[in-house]
Structure 1
Amino acid sequence: MDPHSTPAFAASLSEAPFRRYVNRYGGQRQLAIRLYAWNIEVSSAFWGPIGVLEVMLRNRIHDALRKGRSDAWWYDGVNLAHREAIGLQTTIKRLFDRTGREPSPDEVVGASTFGFWVGLTGSGVPRHPLFSYETALWQPRLRHAFSGLGGVSRKELHAQLDGVRAFRNRIAHHEPVYAMNLPSMRDKIVRCASYLDRDVADYIAASHRIDVALTRQKEVISSGTCVL
């Protein structure tokens, strides 16, 4: 079904964000609304691979940081820089406000954002005796969570993961991604997964539907047959 044939669909879109789609096709709103629909289709194709990477990342980092400690390692000798500390506190407070009780470690881990886990692979406060993640987290613990890293540095790992995080947030907020290098992002997701586990990375590479969505762009624009 052509999305342009459903006037209420186009009418529901905010004019300012939609304008870039219209401008791409010189004011042809029929093509613009089809591109918008394809943007949804290709964005949704990325959710599965990103979800697998996100869950694996948080569980591997959680396991590395709780080894020899309590499961609530954030209360057990792990020093977090301001951004991650605030993020964790916000998550715990949100869970407490929802249930009226102290959340379990598993609940905290499950509710923490992708950005929180990616942040733990960052630098923290460089050269700080307590908050330098390179010396306090990475060298003693987190590097062991990335068995497939090879010669890739922590800094490069963080940059790649942060790129996936930024992309994830774009699709989560329904922003346009059609003009981005989507094959490169697909490969980055698989590569980041391979740093954690090669078999899981191979599974993502063999199972995703990103390429199908990519090859359908011209068809969607010409005919309007989009798959949400």
Structure 2
Amino acid sequence: MDPHTIPAFAASLSEPRFRRYLNRYDGRRQMAIRLYAWNIEISSAFWGPIGVLEVMLRNRIHDALRSGRSDAWWYDGVNLAHREAAGLQATINRLFSRTGHEPTPDEVVGASTFGFWVGLTGPGVPRDRLFSYETALWQPRLRHAFANLGGASRKELHAQLDGIRKFRNRIAHHEPIYNMNLTSMRDKIVQCASFIDGDVSRYIARSHRIDDAFARQRAVVASGSCVI
């Protein structure tokens, strides 16, 4: 069904949000609405690969930080910079408010944001003895979670992951991604997964539907035959 033929579809789009799609096609609403629908299609195609990477990343980092400690390593001698400490506490508070009991480590890990785990690969507070992640987290522990990193640095890894995080957030907030370099983002997801595990990376590379959705853009805009 062509979304352009559904009055409620177009009516549900706010003018400021829709303006970016209209501008792409010089105000031609029919094509703009179809592009909006295709943006949903290509966005949904990225969710699977990002989800696999996100779950694998958080579990590998969690395993590296709890080794030789309790599973609740955040209470066991790990110093977190303000942003990560605040994010973790917000997760714990939210879980406690929802359930009425102190959350288990598994619950905390599962509810923590992608940004929290990506942040742990960042600099923390550089040159600070306690809060520099390079010396306090990366060198002694986290680098072992990325066995296939090769010659890439923590800084390079973090830049890649943070780019994926920002992209993920655009999708989560239903923002346009049609005008981004989507093949490059696909490759970054596969590469970051390969830093952790080659087999999982190959699974993502061989199983995703990003390329199929990407190839459909012209047909969708021409005919409205979108698959969301």
Identity of counterpart residues, as a percentage? 81
1:50 matched residue in structure 2: 50
1:194 matched residue in structure 2: 194
| Structure-2 separation of matches of 1:166 and 1:225 | 29
| Structure-2 separation of matches of 1:221 and 1:33 | 8
Shift of 1:132: 0.3
1:104 matched residue in structure 2: 104
* Structure 2 counterpart SS, 1:49: helix
Q: State the Cα deviation string for residues 24-79 of structure 1 (Å, max 9, x = none).
A: 11110000000000000000000000000000000000000000000000000000
With structure 1 as the length reference, what TM-score do the two structures score? Answer: 1.00
| Structure-2 separation of matches of 1:26 and 1:169 | 27
1:5 matched residue in structure 2: 5
* Structure 2 counterpart SS, 1:174: coil
| Structure-2 separation of matches of 1:64 and 1:27 | 52
Q: State the Cα deviation string for residues 108-129 of structure 1 (Å, max 9, x = none).
A: 0000000000000000000101
| Structure-1 separation of matches of 2:31 and 2:149 | 43
2:60 matched residue in structure 1: 60
2:22 matched residue in structure 1: 22
Shift of 1:180: 0.2
Q: Aligned letter for 1:86?
A: A
Q: Aligned letter for 1:154?
A: R
1:71 matched residue in structure 2: 71
Q: State the Cα deviation string for residues 74-133 of structure 1 (Å, max 9, x = none).
A: 000000000000000000000000001100000000000000000000000001010000
Shift of 1:23: 1.1
| Structure-1 separation of matches of 2:41 and 2:163 | 21
Structure 2 counterparts to residues 1-228 of structure 1, below 5 A? 1-228=1-228
| Structure-2 separation of matches of 1:121 and 1:14 | 37
| Structure-1 separation of matches of 2:27 and 2:199 | 47
Q: Which runs of 4+ in 1 moved over 2 A?
A: none
Give the number of aligned pairs.
228
Q: State the Cα deviation string for residues 134-158 of structure 1 (Å, max 9, x = none).
A: 0000000000000110000000000
CA RMSD between the two structures: 0.3
Q: Aligned letter for 1:180?
A: M
Consecutive unaligned residues in structure 2, runs of 5 or more: none
